[in-house]
Amino acid sequence: MRIPPFARYQRLLASFGIFVSGAIVGSAVYMSIHQHTYNELYVQMHKYLEENHDLRADIDNLNKTKNKQTLINVINVHLLPKSQTDLISEDIQKEIEGDVKGELKLVIGQKATTVRDSQALYERLITQRTYFLHDKKYVVEVKSIILIQTEMTVWITAEEKKT
C-alpha cells in the first residue's frame, strides 16, 4: 500500500487551520458583544422592576392614607457616592436603596410631626448598618433626612467595607 505524499495536503491543512482560527476568534467576538448587550438589558430590567415595585408600593401607601393629609405617604432614598473613586454599580445602588427603604417602611402611615420629632431615631436606625450584596459588605451612613409635607427623603452614602 502506498501512502500519498504529505506535501499535497500541506496547503489544505494550513487553510483549514486558518479557517478554524477565524471561527474561534469570530465566536469570541460575538460572545463578548452578546454578553455586553445582555448585561445592559439585565441592568435596565432590574431598574424597571425596582421602579415598578416602588410605584406599586407608593400607590398602596397613598391609598391607605389618602384621606389623612398629615401622615407620611412616601419615602424616597437617594444614594450619593462617598467619593469619586468609590463608585458603586447601579444595580447595587438600587438594592441598597431598596433595603434602606424597607428599613424605613415603618414610617409610612405615621404622623409627620411624630416623625419630625424623632428624626435622630431613624438616622440611628440606618447609620452604620451593614448590607451583604454580591459577596461584599457595604456600610451605610445617613447624610441628611428631609421631611416635606407627606414625603420623607433620605440621602445616604455607602462604602464597601474591606475585610
At 15-53, the pLDDT tens digits run 999 999 999 999 999 999 999 999 999 999 999 999 999
Judgement on whether residues 96 and 64 belong to the same structural domain of the protein: no
Judgement on whether residues 23 and 64 belong to the same structural domain of the protein: yes
The range of the structural domain enclosing residue 84 comes to 71-160
Judgement on whether residues 57 and 87 belong to the same structural domain of the protein: no
The structure's pTM equals: 0.58
Q: Pick from 55, 49, 51: which is nearest to 74 by CA?
A: 55
Judgement on whether residues 65 and 109 belong to the same structural domain of the protein: no
pLDDT at 34: 96
In total, how many domains does the chain have? 2
Residue 83 has pLDDT above 80, yes or no: no
pLDDT at 42: 93
pLDDT at 41: 95
Q: Do the bridges between strand 129-133 and strand 151-161 make them parallel or antiparallel, or are there none, so unpaired?
A: unpaired
Judgement on whether residues 120 and 149 belong to the same structural domain of the protein: yes
Judgement on whether residues 49 and 76 belong to the same structural domain of the protein: no
- 95-129 pLDDT, tens digit per residue, is 888 888 888 888 888 888 888 888 888 888 888 88
**In which region does residue 121 sit, left (phi positive, over 0), alpha (psi from -120 to 50) or beta (all else)?**
alpha
Judgement on whether residues 65 and 90 belong to the same structural domain of the protein: no
